[in-house]
Chain A
């Protein structure tokens, strides 16, 4: 006589292989060293203070004009070369571009007086000159990502160097739109929030505070990344991607006091970049001085830099050749997925003097 289990149907079925894989990956994640990032071969071209200019040679050079990447001051630029398979920089060198990357480095207390204008005048300008000399090219393409795009735009508006193309992605230009609680924006604009004294005393905003600032704007409590990891831990490729992303997210860079003051008081509060009043040395960084071919990329799911903050640059520059695209991506996803390389190539290939 056949007997049937009394609780059959009420006990949930598990995929045991999936559970074994999940926990094996979790154990591996906890015991293995941090994932390797920035594996594309590169050479140091120039170094000043903590900043380094890196050169990534093209696999087979196909374009005369090199790409010069300017990344944000808030994070480390290795997001552009985080995964060998999805690296923005590697993909571009494979496509035949000579790539240069200016790594701002990690500022210390001694760098408290370095403002955005100093970064532009004494670091970016020199680095571009060095890249031009190193590549023996007559012109260059500037590629700015996030706040790096803002810095690249400021530089392009005062540059004496030959900039043929300017590419900016997820770039905040117009700060009249504030991301975050309304009253915070109000408080910042009417002076209820004033961080000047705090910045003078601290010298640099510690990296933990930078992380907290982003958390406060986005989501102060954030733990779903861990539950998401647990949920998809059986997938080895996802775990690898998560580990790299997690490393980068927690690897914030301190922000120099002077640069932070300029960022908050002049860019956010005064919206001086849109008004053409931001000063670099004795020159006003007026975006209408930009005549280089312009390409602006926004992410439709970007909740840190909104489209409304990027789009105004299109009307502020004097460029005749200007293109704006909004892609299906988040703020970091564009770089993390490697998607950005294809977008850059599509636009820049015809504007980079192809060699054959």
Chain B
């Protein structure tokens, strides 16, 4: 090996082509960068457009006579298809809205059901409480009756006590009378 870089002809070709391309493009740039070229291009475009316009008009006229569809007819049909697509799209969006409303309503219903469940639970609790309270009320009534009875008994007892006291008083009086009688007996 000589240590020299091997010869690559394509490298030189590429370098040369870059140079040529730049030179040609620069030339075209300067050649076209003027008012006359622009006016000429515009005129050329206009002539081309007018020629094509005439040609199209004639083609349309001929196709009309022969009842043949032209590209314009096909374009009109395509426009109808796009319009139909847009309508389907609008319907689809309305379905979305409905779905969204349904979803939100479902959520609301779910929350109402949840609340109802809570209410039922609460009602059951209240019912149980009520039964309990009724039971307690009956018990209280019974207690009241018992108390009344006790009160009555107490009243009886009080009467009895009073009677007893009066008997006791009478007995005391009797005793005193007896004592007095006994005293007077001894004095005689």
Residues of A within 8 A of B86 (CB): 48, 122
Interface string of B27-53 (1 = CB under 8 A from A): 011001111011101100110111011
Is the Cβ of A201 less than 8 Å from the Cβ of B56? yes
Question: Is A331 among interface residues, defined by CB-CB distance under 8 A?
Answer: no
B75 neighbours in A (Cβ, 8 Å): 108-110, 112, 203
Check: B62 CB closer than 8 A to any chain A CB.
no
* Cβ A197 vs Cβ B28 within 8 A: no
- Report the Cα distance A82→B46, complex, angstroms: 39
Q: Please tell me if A356 contacts chain B, counting CB pairs below 8 Å.
A: no
With CB as the reference atom, state the residue of chain A lying closest to B88: A48
Query: In the complex the two chains form, is B21's CB within 8 Å of A231's CB?
Result: no
A222–B79 contact, CB under 8 A?
no
Contacts of B6 in A (CB 8 A): 12-15, 18
The reply to whether B71 and A109 contact each other, CB–CB distance below 8 Å, is yes
Chain B nearest Cβ from A204, distance in angstroms: 11
Complex: A48 Cα to B8 Cα, angstroms: 53
Q: Are the C-beta atoms of A230 and B34 separated by less than 8 Å?
A: no
Given A109-B71, A219-B21, A224-B14, also A197-B35 (CB < 8 A)? no
Chain B 73-97, CB-CB to A under 8 Å as 1, else 0, gives: 0111011011001100100010010
Q: Is the Cβ of A126 less than 8 Å from the Cβ of B89?
A: yes
Min distance, Cβ B105 to any Cβ of chain A, angstroms: 19
- Chain B residue numbers with a CB within 8 Å of A321 are none
Whether the pair A227, B78 counts as a contact (CB closer than 8 A) is no
A108:B17 contact, CB within 8 angstroms: no
Q: How far is the CB of B39 from chain A (nearest CB, A)?
A: 6
A22, A133, A184, most chain B CB atoms within 10 A = A184
Alpha-carbon separation in the docked complex, A197 to B78 (Å): 23
CB < 8 Å: which of B10, B34, B42, B79 contacts A194?
B42
Contact of B34 among A48, A111, A183, A202 (CB under 8 A): A183
Q: With an 8 A cutoff between CB atoms, is A342 at the interface? A: no
A126 to B92, CA, bound (A): 11
Chain B residues with CB under 8 A of A18: 6, 8
Interface residues of A in 89-110 (CB under 8 A from B): 108-110
Number of interface residues, chain A, beta carbon within 8 A: 44
Residues on B with beta carbons closer than 8 Å to the beta carbon of A198: 45-46, 48-49
With both chains docked as a complex, state the minimum distance between the C-beta of A69 and any C-beta of chain B, in angstroms: 21
Is residue A41 within 8 Å, beta carbon to beta carbon, of the partner chain? no
A16, closest chain B residue (CB): B6
Contact bitstring A102-145, B, C-beta under 8 A = 1, else 0: 00000011111000000000100010010001000000000000
Does A223 lie at the interface of the complex (its beta carbon under 8 Å from any beta carbon of B)?
Answer: yes
Interface membership of A6, Cβ < 8 A: no
Which residues between 182 and 201 of chain A lie within 8 Å of chain B, taking CB atoms?
182-184, 186-187, 192-195, 197-198, 200-201
Within 8 A of B (CB), among A213-231: 219-224, 227-228, 230-231
User: What residues on A are CB-neighbors of B85 within 8 Å?
Assistant: 48-49
Q: How far, in angstroms, from A230 to B16 measured CA to CA in the complex?
A: 13
Question: Which residues on the A side are within 8 Å of B96 (C-beta)?
Answer: 133
B21 touches A230 (CB 8 A): no
Chain A residues engaging chain B, CB cutoff 8 angstroms? 12-15, 18, 22, 48-49, 108-112, 122, 126, 129, 133, 181-184, 186-187, 192-195, 197-198, 200-203, 219-224, 227-228, 230-231, 233
Apart from A192-B35, A197-B49, list 14 A-B contacts with CB within 8 A: A15-B6, A18-B6, A108-B75, A111-B78, A133-B96, A184-B38, A187-B42, A192-B38, A194-B42, A197-B50, A201-B52, A201-B53, A219-B25, A220-B24
B-to-A contact residues, CB < 8 Å: 2, 4, 6-8, 10-11, 13-14, 17-18, 21, 24-25, 28-29, 32-35, 37-39, 41-42, 45-46, 48-50, 52-53, 56, 71, 74-76, 78-79, 81-82, 85-86, 89, 93, 96
Closest 10 CB pairs of A and B: A12-B7, A110-B78, A110-B75, A181-B33, A15-B6, A187-B38, A227-B17, A231-B14, A227-B14, A231-B10
Give 23 pairs: A residue, B residue, CB < 8 Å, sorted on A.
A12-B6, A13-B6, A15-B8, A22-B10, A48-B82, A48-B86, A49-B82, A108-B75, A109-B74, A112-B75, A126-B89, A183-B38, A187-B42, A197-B53, A198-B49, A201-B56, A202-B52, A219-B21, A223-B21, A224-B21, A227-B10, A230-B10, A231-B10
